[in-house]
Amino acid sequence: MGYLFTSESVSEGHPDKVADQISDAILDELLRQDPHSRVACETFVTTGLVVVGGEIKTSGYVPVQKVVRRVIERIGYNKSEYKFDAGSCGIISVIHEQSEDINRGVDRDSEENQGAGDQGMMFGYACKDTEDYMPLALHLSHLLLLELAAIRREAKQMTYLRPDSKSQVTLEYSDDNRPVRVHTIVVSTQHDPFDDDEERMLAKIKEDVQNILIPRVIKKLNSSIAGLFRDFILHVNPTGKFVIGGPHGDTGLTGRKIIVDTYGGKGAHGGGAFSGKDCSKVDRSAAYAARHIAKNMVAAGVADEMLVQIAYAIGVAQPVGVYVNTYGTSKVKLTDGEIATHVQKLFDLRPGMIIRRLGLKNPIFEATAAYGHMGRKPYTDLVTFIENGKEVKKEVEFFTWEKLDYVDSIKKEFGL
């Protein structure tokens, strides 16, 4: 009979994502100056106010006001009628120094033996739904909002758009777990009050979503996925008008969109958020490493679908456990437990080695804080660092955990 599966995404203007982007921007600013910074930065946003707190150990200095206002301006909150704008919002910083009790459990004489910044379990997942080995419902949810943001910035069509928005995609799957069609799409977007007639205004927004947004999304898809868009149900702003939004409509907090950040409910999640944390925190680094493993393993042909769990004890370098689940899709004559043993042979999962392998001391994290940390295209860019009081530009890799750089090694290990 098949089944339905749903994932959601939220835009860069969603209050929780505003908070995530601020936290990661502050992290990046510190890493530009001191790559050994220890950062756990939390942000709270509400009507006209940003509160930044957390624990930091660094030799750098972050101009909190400047960084926060830059992020808010980039997102698009730049008008007083939004009740939250870059030029006038209040900003309070209550950052203090990291606990020495935590720090001594992490730092070691050598980077290789650096202890985990906390206990916990982290998951990585990959499947063959898309070319990026991501679950399709989440991929489409992100793409809807990325394209909506592009339309907003072009300011040629749908000129009433405001920064806050959400999407949701429900897919119909066959019994053999293959997507058959797009069943339901939900788009909720903040907008200007551009018509006194509310029904006419809502009808115009729905018409534009159907005739402008969705066709632009479909054009970006390969033919097999584009063909899934047929006879779908469409809900646009189903509660009615959506003028009040962003941090004025709802408070935002760092780390409240962890499923949007990862796999849209597919696989599993250990509960730890990413944004605002340097990568001595395995909540972040090990989750990236687990995705890197799962993606390369599926790309190499070990399985069509894979979940990888890595678990740690605080202050201990070696993981306490590595778990693999191929959901019965394994292509090798090994149990999932045996596959996990090979994973530990191929990948050094000590936090210090993950950080080195993936380049996680670089200021690369603001780019991750909206539209998902996983399934993004790796790229390089010039980044300005501060060294000995001088600005130095260096080429830096972003989304390194998405690189398919272990496929050949995995094929050799598994005889594929």
329 token code pair = 């899709």
Residue 257 CB-density burial (10 A; 0-12 exposed, 13-18 middle, 19+ buried): buried
Is residue 99 a contact partner of residue 300, using CB atoms and an 8 Å limit?
no
Distance CA(354)–CA(171), nearest Å, equals 35
Q: What is the residue whose two structure tokens read 């001594």?
A: 104
Q: State the pTM of this model.
A: 0.95
End-to-end CA distance of the chain: 34
106 token code pair = 């992490």
Binding residues for Mg(2+): 16
Q: What is the pLDDT of residue 74?
A: 98
> Within the chain, which residues score under 70 in pLDDT?
1, 98-110
Helix (H, G, I), strand (E, B) or coil at 225: helix
Helix (H, G, I), strand (E, B) or coil at 290: helix
399: left (phi over 0), alpha (psi -120 to 50) or beta: left
Domain ranges of the chain: 3-9+136-246, 15-99, 120-128+257-272+279-414
CA Rg, the chain, in Å?
22
List strand residue ranges (DSSP E) for 110-238, in order: 120-127, 161-173, 179-191, 233-236
Binding residues for ATP: 14, 164-166, 241-242, 250, 256-257, 273, 277
Binding residues for K(+): 42
Q: What is the pLDDT of residue 69?
A: 98
Q: Fold identical between 15-99 and 120-128+257-272+279-414?
A: yes
Binding residues for L-methionine: 55, 98, 250, 281
Using DSSP bridges, classify how beta strands 305-312 and 49-57 pair: parallel, antiparallel or unpaired.
unpaired
Please determine, looking at this structure, whether the domain spanning 120-128+257-272+279-414 carries the CATH number 3.30.300.130: no
Is residue 88 a contact partner of residue 48, using CB atoms and an 8 Å limit?
yes
CATH number of 3-9+136-246: 3.30.300.10
Strand-pairing partners, residue 44, are 51, 253
Binding residues: 14, 16, 42, 55, 98, 164-166, 241-242, 250, 256-257, 273, 277, 281
CATH topology of domain 15-99: GMP Synthetase; Chain A, domain 3 (3.30.300)
CA 185 to chain centre: 21
Using DSSP bridges, classify how beta strands 49-57 and 90-97 pair: parallel, antiparallel or unpaired.
parallel
Q: What is the pLDDT of residue 103?
A: 57
